[in-house]
Amino acid sequence: MKIRFGYVSTAITLWEASPSRTLTFTRYSKMTETERVDKLMSLTYLNLESTARMIHYNIAHEIPLYRFSSSIAPLATHPEVLWDFVTPFKDKWQEIGRLVKAKGLRTSFHPNQYTLFTSPRPEVSDNAVIDMEYHYRMLEAMGLENEGVINIHIGGAYGNKEETIVRFHENLRKLPLPIKKRMTLENDDKTYNAEETLVTCQKEDIPLVFDYHHHMANLCDRPLEELLPAGFATWERIGIRPKIHISSPKTEKAFRSHADHVDPEFILPLIKVLRGIGQDVDFMIEAKRKDQAALALVEDLSKIRGVKRIGGATLEWK
């Protein structure tokens, strides 16, 4: 069994490398038209430069997974802005995509918690479509629309899970099919557990991103030995190995909060189940220390007897 590791958005080891420099609409609205254009262009350029630095960093450290920032293009989905964030930076977008493809990196996006299709308010799902289209346009700009995925949660229950799930399926019809084909769904730590999310994924033919920390905070009845193989099967359509989100609790009291690093003891029960299944998987590390946490976990796990480090961030269990 092989496990590859990655991290979210920002390699904090790098100096001044945030890919998420942003601009509030309040500040934007106080600027002149020239200032607005200049600010949007300069921030997006810096974010793309940082993203390119991150990709080079990942290549140098053999980190095969990376989640792009959702904030590369400030105000791109604001209804009073909606600017062209692709054309002015066409070469940069393509440069990043070529690097990703050349080195076989696995990339993704994860829109924020407001991108959901469960709300009873039509404008919320309409905005979710806009946000998904924004992320898909970034994948297209990099030439990764047939490789990357866009991951979201089902959303809130609004007092009635059964009715809300029906509404989710109905609202999801608003999403253009090419985008839906690149989306994934993740179980969450309060509302829709892994089994409920899996059922939704199976109905919509959407891959399940299993979050182990969320699962431990919001358990379902189905054992992992049954749940995981069923979840892994949802990835067969797009031909990508299953991905699992990994983090550990900050404290027992703040169980749902992510710690700076990943406690190996917390995830060893999961790894034991995975070994029994014999499935190669990818781990996306969601700890606060990002790249440092991912590499530290690789180092910690590599010390276990029978585990061989076969790459900068890839391990093999004998």
User: Residue 4: what are its φ and ψ, rounded to 5°?
Assistant: -100, 150
Q: Where are the domains of the chain?
A: 6-287
pTM of the entire predicted model = 0.96
What CATH number was assigned to the domain covering residues 6-287? 3.20.20.150
Q: What is the pLDDT of residues 95-150, one digit of tens each?
A: 999 999 999 999 999 999 889 999 999 999 999 999 999 999 999 999 999 999 99
Stretch 72-76: mean pLDDT: 97
pLDDT at 113: 87
Q: What is the pLDDT of residues 14-64, one digit of tens each?
A: 999 999 999 999 999 999 999 999 999 999 999 999 999 999 999 999 999
pLDDT at 211: 98
Angle between helices 224-233 and 194-204 (to 10 degrees): 30
Give the contacts of 137 (CB within 8 A, at least 6 positions apart).
Answer: 85, 86
How many alpha carbons lie under 13 Å from residue 275 in its C-beta half-sphere? 12
Closest CA to 18 of 49, 41, 50: 50
Stretch 266-282: mean pLDDT: 97
